[in-house]
A and B are shown apart, each in its own frame.
Chain A
């Protein structure tokens, strides 16, 4: 365990791709601490990636790139500009609102991040926005996908904690909206002092709104098809990603006619390599997860936690810290599977509601999606923005702070997570 984490940290600063740093650290730990045959590495790499639901990632990435190349994104931005173009830092606002909207239709934060980044970043670059902050905000907006329903992480939490998935889903809505409001406020405060780049200069008119809306209408078909399909029960979230891809193709090739068949291979290849960098990290992280699980880390943790405190507030503080650190290094679903069975019985013994505890876990792990070194939304956003992790990391404090405030509220005010389920589910 110590070997794995220490080795990983040293490798991180060596400039080697993080996917290799993860793999090497796990391999060193396996060699030093177990007698398992080395084929375990290949097995886990395969296991990490063998999942139908992960398919949403390449589909949403490809559809986002096509939206951008085929003129949908440009028209969306024009419409958003007509809507909120008069607000300082409007493109940040649009990103946050789009992120929240996508969060409400998909379970995967990295796919959302990819889609928003591909649409928004080129415009922000053109208008000379601070791109590092843009990537940081988009990463945080994308990470909302695991708090705002539907959320794959929440389903795993609910199942592991033997709680109602419906209650868990409802519990995430208010914290998600708090994060959204915080991100918009934070971006506005930043943009207000940022100079003319952040002011569109065009006043709000209904004419402009109508014109941009009509122009964007065929493109709006994409979210309409996705949302309508999911809410109406036509397909699952993963299938929705696929439908989004085809709808985008039809709109960009046959309605807007901006996308030519000869552009396709280049765009698809870019989508493939972008999504592969994400998928290969998920797959390699599962080797790391295996070694942590087999080294009896969960049992050690349980003994240690019950040994140090009897105060529920101190316990929640420690758990938050622990989950934040774990979220920095580990992939969310593995973290839930390993840690929740250890932490939940202790939480219950302190009288903490399991749904609230589930939301605390989910929120911590969403924060983990935007914190280096292992933050998949941060990776995707930086990668699509063409910026380095360390450049974007310099700006991550702003969304991080918003999410931290939401976390404190969820931790110490049970009503934030429990009120909505209690009203709706009785």
Chain B
């Protein structure tokens, strides 16, 4: 191929996000008759998420796929996607993304990135070592969150004692009781076998998490137009495919947890959603963030 793009992410090889990128490679090769292709580096081989994004900025990596909660440190407008209870489902998220693509692309361009596709990393629920039936059951629980202030504040608002901790320490921390639970997507709950140590799974769906694929704007601009078009089409089509895949996978996964002896609960999410509302005010402060927020939440 004349154009080989190195794309890296930190999910395991053959996890959904990796499959999505494989799909994108297939589409890109098809659209360019093999003139362009992707080289996929899974599993954090090329570094953690912050390094992947900075690799793209510095030109040592062509594309990165990272969780939005990290990318939003670099593309401030994308902080909007870190907000809890923004979209009821992954397909609802997908519709809003497709409808507001130009606006999101502008946001990315403003920070020196080209947005290629918005993948999903699933809807995040709550895993614990005792059943959570209502928001009151969360009170006082030590819940592991990512090192992201929005996540920390959200769980504080739900009444928990949010405890940021390295993901690699989480299994042991759940096992020994350093934390009482953690928020996670069902894919993570399954992949890391967290159900062995936190056998209660409350479907709160507090965060619909995205994984945008980005490229350096200058590198993108330097490409011939046909390659640019093929990249954008392949990226967005693959993202649509991947989002559907994640959504389709959700129910069978939850069923499989039951077979592992997991107690599934469905707490009323309305109190969680209400407790999240003040965050929209306190966390989205710039004009760009407000504009994107309004566009994405408009009826």
B178 touches A236 (CB 8 A): yes
A47 touches B168 (CB 8 A): no
Could you write out 25 A-B pairs with CB less than 8 Å apart?
A37-B60, A39-B58, A39-B60, A40-B55, A40-B60, A43-B51, A46-B51, A47-B48, A159-B191, A159-B192, A160-B12, A160-B43, A162-B12, A166-B193, A166-B197, A233-B176, A234-B178, A236-B169, A238-B166, A286-B47, A293-B41, A296-B39, A337-B43, A337-B44, A341-B12
Total interface residues in chain A, CB < 8 Å:
43
User: In whole angstroms, what is the CA distance A238 to B170 when docked?
Assistant: 12
User: Are A52 and B166 CB-contacts (below 8 A) given A155-B172, A341-B13, A341-B43?
Assistant: yes
Which of these, A43, A152, A233, A239, contacts B177 with CB under 8 Å?
Answer: A233
User: In whole angstroms, what is the CA distance A289 to B48 when docked?
Assistant: 13
A235 touches B47 (CB 8 A): no
Spell out A's residues near B (CB within 8 Å): 36-37, 39-40, 43-44, 46-47, 50-53, 150, 152, 155-156, 158-160, 162-166, 230-239, 286, 289-290, 293-294, 296, 337-338, 341
User: Are A37 and B172 CB-contacts (below 8 A) given A164-B193, A165-B193, A337-B43?
Assistant: no
Q: How big is chain B's contact interface, by range? A: 35 or more
Q: Which residues of the partner chain A approach B171 to less than 8 Å between Cβ atoms?
A: 155, 165
Which of these, A40, A52, A165, contacts B58 with CB under 8 Å?
Answer: A40
B47 touches A294 (CB 8 A): no
User: Are A37 and B43 CB-contacts (below 8 A) given A156-B168, A233-B178?
Assistant: no
A135 CB, min distance to chain B CBs, angstroms: 29
Which of these, A37, A50, A232, A237, contacts B48 with CB under 8 Å?
Answer: A50
A338 touches B169 (CB 8 A): no
Contacts of B63-122 to chain A: CB distance below 8 A: none
Closest partner residue, chain B, to A293 (CB atom): B45
A245 CB, min distance to chain B CBs, angstroms: 18
B54 touches A43 (CB 8 A): yes
Closest partner residue, chain B, to A292 (CB atom): B45
Q: Does B173 contact A (CB under 8 A)?
A: yes
A215 CB, min distance to chain B CBs, angstroms: 31
User: Are A236 and B173 CB-contacts (below 8 A) given A39-B60, A50-B48, A293-B45?
Assistant: yes
Q: Does B31 contact A (CB under 8 A)?
A: no
A164 touches B60 (CB 8 A): no
Which of these, B12, B46, B54, B169, contacts A293 with CB under 8 Å?
Answer: B46
B6 touches A294 (CB 8 A): yes
B168 CB, min distance to chain A CBs, angstroms: 6
Q: Which residues of the partner chain B approach A341 to less than 8 Å between Cβ atoms?
A: 12-13, 42-43
B47 touches A44 (CB 8 A): yes
Q: Point out which of A46, A162, A235 has the most chain B C-beta atoms below 10 A from its C-beta.
A: A162
Contacts of B167-197 to chain A: CB distance below 8 A: 168-169, 171-173, 175-178, 191-193, 196-197
User: In whole angstroms, what is the CA distance A296 to B192 when docked?
Assistant: 27
Q: Point out which of B46, B51, B60, B197 has the most chain A C-beta atoms below 10 A from its C-beta.
A: B60
Q: Does B140 contact A (CB under 8 A)?
A: no
Closest partner residue, chain B, to A344 (CB atom): B13
A287 CB, min distance to chain B CBs, angstroms: 11
> 5 new A-B pairs (CB below 8 Å) besides A165-B192, A237-B172?
A36-B59, A39-B60, A40-B60, A43-B60, A160-B12
B8 CB, min distance to chain A CBs, angstroms: 9
User: In whole angstroms, what is the CA distance A39 to B57 when docked?
Assistant: 11
Q: Which residues of the partner chain B approach A44 to less than 8 Å between Cβ atoms?
A: 47, 51
User: In whole angstroms, what is the CA distance A235 to B163 when docked?
Assistant: 12
B7 CB, min distance to chain A CBs, angstroms: 12
User: In whole angstroms, what is the CA distance A381 to B196 when docked?
Assistant: 37
Q: Pick the 5 closest A-B CB pairs, nearest first.
A: A233-B177, A233-B176, A40-B60, A36-B60, A293-B45
B177 CB, min distance to chain A CBs, angstroms: 3
A48 CB, min distance to chain B CBs, angstroms: 9
Contacts of B1-23 to chain A: CB distance below 8 A: 6, 12-13
User: In whole angstroms, what is the CA distance A235 to B165 when docked?
Assistant: 11
Q: Point out which of B39, B50, B58, B197 has the most chain A C-beta atoms below 10 A from its C-beta.
A: B58
Q: Which residues of the partner chain B approach A338 to less than 8 Å between Cβ atoms?
A: 45
Q: Which residues of the partner chain B approach A163 to less than 8 Å between Cβ atoms?
A: 193
Q: Which residues of the partner chain B approach A233 to less than 8 Å between Cβ atoms?
A: 173, 176-178
Q: Which residues of the partner chain B approach A294 to less than 8 Å between Cβ atoms?
A: 6, 41, 46
Q: Which residues of the partner chain B approach A289 to less than 8 Å between Cβ atoms?
A: 45
User: In whole angstroms, what is the CA distance A293 to B8 when docked?
Assistant: 11
User: In whole angstroms, what is the CA distance A230 to B176 when docked?
Assistant: 7
Q: Which residues of the partner chain B approach A53 to less than 8 Å between Cβ atoms?
A: 166, 168-169
Q: Which residues of the partner chain A approach B41 to less than 8 Å between Cβ atoms?
A: 293-294
Q: Which residues of the partner chain B approach A166 to less than 8 Å between Cβ atoms?
A: 175, 193, 196-197
B58 CB, min distance to chain A CBs, angstroms: 5
User: In whole angstroms, what is the CA distance A46 to B55 when docked?
Assistant: 12
